[in-house]
């Protein structure tokens, strides 16, 4: 799943959301919109 850094910082740091991501093995690709660079890649 590709998401912006702003969305990640607002929603994806919640422990409930983290547990869902781990449970369903959802991979994250977090990017900085303005710099157009990858800031986090979670398998």
**Helix (H) / strand (E) containing 31:** strand 28-32
pTM of the predicted model as reported, rounded to 2 decimal places: 0.76
Report the DSSP pairing between strands 2-4 and 37-42: unpaired
Torsion angles phi and psi, residue 9, rounded to 5: -65, -30
> Residue 33: which domain range?
2-42
Per-residue tens of pLDDT for the chain, all 43 residues: 999 999 999 999 899 999 999 999 999 999 999 999 999 998 8
Question: Is residue 43 classed as helix, strand or coil in its secondary structure?
Answer: coil
Q: Enter the tokens of residue 35.
A: 């710099």
Q: How many domains does the chain have?
A: 1
**Segments of 1-43 assigned E as strands:** 2-4, 28-32, 37-42
pLDDT of residue 22: 93
């Amino acid at each position: 799943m590709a998401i912006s850094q702003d969305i990640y910082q607002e929603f994806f740091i919640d422990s409930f959301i983290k547990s869902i991501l781990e449970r369903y093995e959802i991979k994250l690709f977090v990017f900085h919109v303005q710099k157009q660079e990858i800031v986090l890649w979670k398998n």
